[in-house]
Amino acid sequence: MNFSTSKLTTALDRAVDWFIPASLAADKDLRKQARLFLISHLMGPFIGNTVPLSLYLFDPTPSWDIAILSLSITGFWVFPFILKAIGHYHTLALISIQNLMFCILWSCYFYGGVTSPTLPWVLTIPLLAFFYIGDSARLRYIVLAMFGANFVAFGLLSYFVSPPEHGMPVAALQGLGIVSTVAAAAYVTMMAVYYARALASQVELEAVMRHQRTTAQHLRIAAVEADRASKAKAEFLAKMSHELRTPLNAVIGYSQMLLEEAEDTGDFEDVPDIERIHAAGAHLLRLVNNVLDLSKIEAGHMDLYIEDFCLETVLRTAVEEARGQADTNGNTLNVTVEPGIPMVHGDQMKTQAVISNVVQNAAKYTQNGRVDVTCRHIALAAGDAMRIEVRDTGIGIDADDLPNIFEQFAVVDDETSTKYGGTGVGLALTRELCRMMSGTIEAASVRGKGSTFAITLPMVMSERRREAAPLHTILALEKSLYPEGKDPQGSFSDVSQKVA
């Protein structure tokens, strides 16, 4: 039998839960008892009233005692409302058990005493008492005492005061016995089924909880494993970075030395080849550095280092780094800085890397065109920010590719990559660096016409002017701003919300 799909049981469940006061709902055992109590009280009077009804029909001279019995049984319907209104569950349960005993013994007294057809109902008393009060020993003793007191009371009553004669025929008594027994059995069955269902759902719930506990345990283990793997990866990368850069430094350094020597001796025969070695080495080093930086950011091993610096100097340095590339491609490279850009408070190295990456990209992907770099101060809701725009007249990016250019290893196409030497790491790193600094980078482009990259970095204006800016002074100032051991990152994130 599948009760859970039945609309009736669902509605009944809802009705039952509606009556449970908040004070009971919190306790798992109390809630279960209250549910049994409520189902018994909501359904009980329907089944129970079959007895007074059949008495009324079978009895040739029905009397007021039947009305009392029916009233008493119908009175069970009041209990759920009292429970909902004032609580006091256990007191209500005891009163209800008392009422039940009264109903049964009352009908027995009037109809046949110890041979009464309503006697099977006595069996429901301990059953319901068990459902209502659970395993509380104190309440069980009270119920037992009540049971005894009621028997004694009705025993004495029937001993001293004989019940009135109804003169019911034997056949009527037999019919009454059948109705009463069937009703009592139906009542007990209903309660047993409901109890079994509650038990089953509880077992199910516990199984789910056990399963979730196991899952949580697995997740904890996985998290520890992942953390260990991440640490191992970071360590490996740190070691690799040194191992990769050392030979690359030699390749780049020696090729540069050969170029310098050629300059001195005037023997330019091998210069184009050496230049290729040098460019390839520099390219590889940049790639290695970018990949390592990305990994560091992803592993959370890169922090912000906040200092005062002159943004204009950083901007011009970054632009100058791309000058060679721009010259090679026959581009003009212009810088416009809004007058009065003050000293700013931020991560100098990362700011420079971000600008440098974008300007070098522009210089790389533009042939015989121009690259314009502008820098101006803008006011955001969160505070001051610097907007650096890099506009080129280069090959541009297709609208379809534009959303993906900041993804790792996204080079527009293989042909572009071969021709221009893109690796698909630079922009991904640039975006990550911008995010670290709570900034953004956006791109707009038209294929064949050119691209514009706009970097917005929140920057706190430093109070000091740029005249007094030797590095030692900055360091001294920073020490006074950030007392020993305090991570400057914290004070930076006060100013603007940190992204990712």
| Smallest distance, another protein to C-beta of residue 477, A | 12
- Of the pair 147, 305, the CB lying nearest another protein is at 305
352 binds another protein (CB under 8 A): yes
| Smallest distance, another protein to C-beta of residue 203, A | 58
Cα gap 373→352, rounded to integer Å: 13
Q: Strand (E) positions, 311-363?
A: 332-337, 343-346
Contact 358, 390 (CB under 8 A): yes
**Tokens, residue 400:** 């379809």
Contact 166, 49 (CB under 8 A): no
Whose structure tokens read 């991440």? 230
Cβ-based neighbour number of residue 242 at 10 Å: 9
427 binds another protein (CB under 8 A): no
| Smallest distance, another protein to C-beta of residue 421, A | 18
- Of the pair 129, 311, the CB lying nearest another protein is at 311
Contact 459, 495 (CB under 8 A): no
308 binds another protein (CB under 8 A): no
| Smallest distance, another protein to C-beta of residue 384, A | 23
- Of the pair 27, 261, the CB lying nearest another protein is at 261
- Of the pair 341, 353, the CB lying nearest another protein is at 353
- Binding residues for another protein restricted to 182-241, rule: CB under 8 A: 241
349 binds another protein (CB under 8 A): yes
Helix (H), strand (E) at residue 456: strand 450-458
Size of the residue set binding another protein (CB under 8 A): 31
- Of the pair 2, 246, the CB lying nearest another protein is at 246
Q: Which stretch binds another protein (CB under 8 A): 95-103, 286-294, 329-337, 401-409?
A: 286-294
Q: Which stretch binds another protein (CB under 8 A): 122-130, 298-306, 371-379, 418-426?
A: 298-306
DSSP 119: G
Q: Which stretch binds another protein (CB under 8 A): 135-143, 180-188, 203-211, 242-250?
A: 242-250
Contact 327, 368 (CB under 8 A): no
Amino acid, single-letter form, for residue 161: V
Q: Give the residue from 263, 160, 194, 230 showing the smallest Cα distance to 39.
A: 194
Among 200, 257, 382, 399, binds another protein (CB under 8 A): 257
DSSP 76: G
The dihedrals phi and psi of 450, each to the nearest 5 degrees, come to 140, 175
- Of the pair 53, 285, the CB lying nearest another protein is at 285
**Tokens, residue 196:** 């079994």
313 binds another protein (CB under 8 A): no
420 binds another protein (CB under 8 A): no
Contact 346, 391 (CB under 8 A): no
Rounded to 10 deg, the angle between the 64-74 and 50-58 helix axes is 170
Among 101, 129, 248, 318, binds another protein (CB under 8 A): 248
- Binding residues for another protein restricted to 439-498, rule: CB under 8 A: 471-472, 475
51 binds another protein (CB under 8 A): no
- Of the pair 350, 391, the CB lying nearest another protein is at 350
Q: Which stretch binds another protein (CB under 8 A): 35-43, 104-112, 253-261, 409-417?
A: 253-261
DSSP string, 123-146: GHHHHHHHHHHTT-HHHHHHHHHH
Among 285, 461, 469, 481, binds another protein (CB under 8 A): 285
Q: Which stretch binds another protein (CB under 8 A): 9-17, 245-253, 328-336, 358-366?
A: 245-253
Cβ-based neighbour number of residue 35 at 10 Å: 21
**Tokens, residue 180:** 């009463």
- Of the pair 198, 436, the CB lying nearest another protein is at 436
DSSP string, 358-401: HHHHHHHT-SSSEEEEEEEEEEETTEEEEEEEEEE-SS---TTT
Q: Which stretch binds another protein (CB under 8 A): 212-220, 249-257, 406-414, 448-456?
A: 249-257
Contacting residues toward another protein, per CB under 8 A: 241-242, 245-246, 248-250, 252-254, 256-257, 260-261, 264, 282, 285, 289, 292-293, 302-303, 305, 307, 349-350, 352-353, 471-472, 475
